[in-house]
Amino acid sequence: MADPGGGAVCNGTLHNQSASDCHRGNCWKNGVVKESQQNGNSNFYKPFVESFEEAPLHVMVFTYLGYGIGTLFGYLRDFLRNSGIEKCNAAVEREEQKDFVPLYQNFENFYTRNLYMRIRDNWNRPICSAPGAVFDVMERVTDDYNWTFRFTGRIIKDVINMGSYNFLGLAAKYDESMRTVKEVLETYGLGVGSTRQEMGTLDKHKELEDLVAKFLNVEAAMVFGMGFATNSMNIPALVGKGCLILSDELNHASLVLGARLSGATIRIFKHNNMQSLEKLLRDAVIYGQPRTRRAWKKILILVEGIYSMEGSIVRLPDIVALKKKYKAYLYIDEAHSIGSVGPTGRGVVEFFGIDPRDIDVLMGTFTKSFGAAGGYLAGRKDLVDYLRTHSHSAAYATSMSPPVAEQIIRVMKLIMGLDGTTKGLQRVQQLAKNTRYFRQRLSQMGFIVYGNEESPVVPLLLYMPAKVAAFARHLLERKIGVVVVGFPATPLAEARARFCVSAAHTREMLDTVLEALDEMGDLLDVKYSRNRKSARPELYDEMSFELED
């Protein structure tokens, strides 16, 4: 997989696979996967349960009607602004540049100007404490309908944090367990001031990379200072012109950007839909590149472990089977799943009992479960050695801060039990318990909840934009901090609240949140669940997908 400009042999040379994959713990049948614990010999079967329930028809009608009315009023307000009757606070062209090509496209900013601005106060809320199970929020108000904000000087104390990706509760204020981080700060300082290829490789980076490889049970790993750039700056080093990328339609923006920067041909398959993926793989092998019909130099499948907007988990055993069948490469982004799923927190690879050698490129970030920053790429040693030379991040980006590296080392040793305790494993298990409890209670209350029952990312569907705003505002009044998400991060009619469960949440905290959500669901009438099948079978039900000619 090293050279994007390699020979014409389709996809290069893959690993030789054992004829008896079941002995490595990755058997699967009828949607039930066999999960093997890496810290023991016991195997058990876990059902793959995901839910994507459709909303009642009247909810969708009123949702689109609400957007329609908002659009009409937006055009009216634009008319008033253009006529000088209403003050325009948006960016406008300077009068002396009226003959230039417009820098600000009026229609493209219509949504931001007239719809998003009405509920803008629900985003970018500043906090002034560590993002633990509770945090402090700086109160702000607006005098011009959310165009600008001013701080009142009041601090909203002890807000229950249901929005941060602090899965294991390790993003917390300083305590004695962080003593080694303090010592590294005193010894190395904060910054490195150089790239990895120049003077920026420290012994701490080497220690961390060896530990990551051991944690993932692979040959080698390389760490980077920024999680987003781990994808966007390294995918172009792996594939290029003459290669094909098959990307899940719900992949993160960092994967999308990296794929676009690579210059490779990109084709999209339906989310977690194996028939859609197999059709693209089969066509790629049969027909090759457009016009020339030459074989693709490489075929790379891009997927995520947990999809952060849907709360769904990748169907990894199915994808690995297709990857082997069509001799493609597999790149998996475990940003949200590493540390948060699997018996010992080793991500979806462990969750499904897959041999790590079956994954060509393992990617993850340290920004969620590890309470730090940066990311990693791991796999075979020749792959990592190639990236050390050709990675844009290694050549141009500054190295990871030493105290950050030490924080990751500290947390990883905690999860692995190398600190001599079982505290890390207890946190992983507590996260799983909290996740199942929170999801089950929401479903019992009648909310539409998306995703896998094991996913700590819990999307609760709200649909209507006015209810999205009211939902977040009322919960903050009850000292509960939530993240609400709407278009363009989600489909237009599928706005939602996204809860992130943490091991640091106590049962009392979760019950407080659930009690408030129960009351809010009745107040705003957002308990839409009727246990119906998905309205988008082409997205969620792979058996309904029909192959096109």
Higher pLDDT, 8 or 359: 359
What's the whole-model pTM score? 0.85
Token pair 């947990």 is found at: 306
pLDDT value, residue 106: 63
Which of 342, 343, 384, 389 has the alpha carbon at shortest distance from 363? 384
Kindly tell me if the per-residue pLDDT of 48 is higher than 80: no
Kindly tell me if the per-residue pLDDT of 535 is higher than 70: no
In the predicted model, what is the mean pLDDT of the chain?
86
In 94-176 the beta strands, taken as DSSP E runs, fall at: 134-141, 150-161
Residues in a beta bridge with 484: 497
Which of 417, 245, 405, 403 has the alpha carbon at shortest distance from 331? 245
pLDDT value, residue 47: 65
**What is the rounded (10 degree) CA torsion for 127, 130, 133, 138?**
-20
pLDDT band at 542 (very low <50, low <70, confident <90, very high): very low
In the chain, the percentage of residues whose pLDDT exceeds 90 is: 73
Q: Are 428 and 339 in contact (CB under 8 A)?
A: yes
pLDDT band at 369 (very low <50, low <70, confident <90, very high): very high
Averaged over 287-313, what is the pLDDT? 94
Q: What's the burial of 404, exposed, middle or buried (CB within 10 Å: 0-12/13-18/19+)?
A: buried
Higher pLDDT, 10 or 197: 197
Higher pLDDT, 532 or 482: 482
Kindly tell me if the per-residue pLDDT of 34 is higher than 70: no
Q: Are 190 and 401 in contact (CB under 8 A)?
A: yes
Q: How far is CA 346 from CA 219, 299, 338, 364, 455, in A?
A: 16, 26, 5, 11, 14
Q: Are 137 and 162 in contact (CB under 8 A)?
A: no
Q: Are 160 and 504 in contact (CB under 8 A)?
A: no
Q: Which CATH class is domain 176-416?
A: alpha beta
483-499 pLDDT tens trace: 999 888 888 899 999 99
Kindly tell me if the per-residue pLDDT of 336 is higher than 70: yes
Q: What's the burial of 176, exposed, middle or buried (CB within 10 Å: 0-12/13-18/19+)?
A: exposed
CATH 3.90.1150.10 in the chain, residues?
Answer: 50-161+423-529
pLDDT band at 94 (very low <50, low <70, confident <90, very high): confident
- The C-alpha angle 260, 394, 214, rounded to 5 degrees, equals 100
Kindly tell me if the per-residue pLDDT of 24 is higher than 50: no
170-197 pLDDT tens trace: 998 888 888 999 999 999 999 999 999 9
Q: Which CATH class is domain 50-161+423-529?
A: alpha beta
CATH 3.40.640.10 in the chain, residues?
Answer: 176-416
Averaged over 255-284, what is the pLDDT? 96
pLDDT value, residue 33: 38
Higher pLDDT, 238 or 90: 238
Q: How far is CA 479 from CA 158, 497, 518, in A?
A: 7, 16, 15
Q: How far is CA 401 from CA 192, 405, 407, in A?
A: 6, 6, 10
pLDDT value, residue 532: 47
pLDDT value, residue 46: 57
Kindly tell me if the per-residue pLDDT of 277 is higher than 60: yes
Q: How far apart are CA 364 and CA 338, in angstroms?
A: 7
Kindly tell me if the per-residue pLDDT of 211 is higher than 50: yes
pLDDT band at 368 (very low <50, low <70, confident <90, very high): very high
| The two structure tokens encoding residue 340 | 């948060």
Which of 392, 340, 326 has the alpha carbon at shortest distance from 14? 326
Averaged over 202-230, what is the pLDDT? 95
Q: Which residues contact 106 (CB under 8 A, 6 or more apart)?
A: 78
Kindly tell me if the per-residue pLDDT of 541 is higher than 50: no
